[in-house]
Amino acid sequence: MVDRANKPKTLVSTPGLPPQAIVTFSDDNSRVRAELPTGESVEVLLHGATVISWKDAAGDEKLWLSEAAKLDGSKAVRGGIPVVFPVFGTAPDHEQTKTLPQHGFARTSRWEFLGKSTSEDSSSLSSPSVKLDFGLSSAAAGLDPLARERWPFAFNLIYSVTLTRDSLNTGIVVTNDGEKPFDCQVLLHTYLRVKDISSVTIEGLASTPYTDKVASTTNQTHPDPLTITAETDRVYTPSSLSAAVTVSESGVPKFRVTRDNLTDVVVWNPWTNKAAGMADFEPKDGFRQMLCVEPGSVSSWQVLEQGDAFEGAQTITLV
């Protein structure tokens, strides 16, 4: 647990084993950072269990984070990978979640750091990895106080962030620990960093039905590739879970996003007017350097009975 007294600032390597990841905590216990022996790193804010940085061995950042993002726990983080649960957007017609704030409460609650695991055998020298686990439950002290009042269900969330030399995996397990069934939605709201959105193409969504939340239309399709030239907010539902989404810049593949048990892919970019209206979006032309590709299960509801669990994950691979 991060808040225990006299905790070590660094989780050191075990003597006699090959070099492995080092996990450190910030002085104020607000974030956890892991670095592989090869130089790749990831940083997770305990507020929301939000991944706020993912860098390759050269130190190049792969995620976009607003310069005005609130990292003090006062609101959800604009950028990185916020965790959306138990509702995507708002659902005024859904009885269980109609009073919850946009995107639920997981991204505004303080999670507990549960520990790390690493690849520590000689065969892992060429492919080191580190996994960080975080937890949030209905009994947790860090739960957003309004959540207990507005969503009175017994639940447990385990969120895992796994870093390898060329990928980042984020996965969540949702468990119903109570007697009452509940409905939920899950989304991993990933902000990818790009150099220039005008040179970006997204492949892997051709002929896939989508809901266009800007135009308020449903069951739309388009051929590959998708380009971003205006405000974009779409929920795609690919027919196959194995279908990957590839993000390229100037024709060169940069990211490949794959999903595990997450049926939908949201593609979002606020463009000029939307970005201008968000106080925590800086710089205002930052939409040119970001693209949200967000695996989730949001076009319908997961219904969990007592003891049921739902598990979903994404893997972002550097191509």
User: What is d(CA 61, CA 194) in angstroms, rounded to the nearest whole number?
Assistant: 10
pLDDT at position 127 is 83
DSSP 313: E
Catalytically annotated residues: 189, 294
User: What is d(CA 98, CA 278) in angstroms, rounded to the nearest whole number?
Assistant: 23
User: What is d(CA 57, CA 52) in angstroms, rounded to the nearest whole number?
Assistant: 17
Question: Which two tokens mark 226?
Answer: 């998708």
Model confidence pLDDT, tens digit, residues 143-191? 988 899 999 999 999 999 999 999 999 999 999 999 999 999 999 999 9
Model confidence pLDDT, tens digit, residues 245-271? 999 999 999 999 999 999 999 999 999
pLDDT at position 1 is 44
Span of 12-21, 35-44, 230-239 with lowest mean pLDDT = 12-21
Mean pLDDT of the chain: 93
CB neighbour class for 189 (10 Å; exposed up to 12, middle 13-18, buried from 19): buried
pLDDT at position 242 is 85
Classify domain 10-318 by CATH number: 2.70.98.10
pLDDT at position 9 is 53
Is 302's pLDDT higher than 80? yes
pLDDT at position 126 is 67
pLDDT at position 17 is 62
Residue 42 binned pLDDT confidence (cut-offs 50, 70, 90): very high
How many other CB atoms sit within 10 Å of the CB of residue 19?
12
Model confidence pLDDT, tens digit, residues 87-135? 999 999 999 999 999 999 999 999 999 999 987 544 445 689 999 999 9
User: What is d(CA 319, CA 189) in angstroms, rounded to the nearest whole number?
Assistant: 20
Residue 10 binned pLDDT confidence (cut-offs 50, 70, 90): low
What is the percent of the chain with per-residue pLDDT over 90, rounded to a whole number?
87
pTM for this structure? 0.92
pLDDT at position 2 is 46
pLDDT at position 11 is 53
pLDDT at position 118 is 85
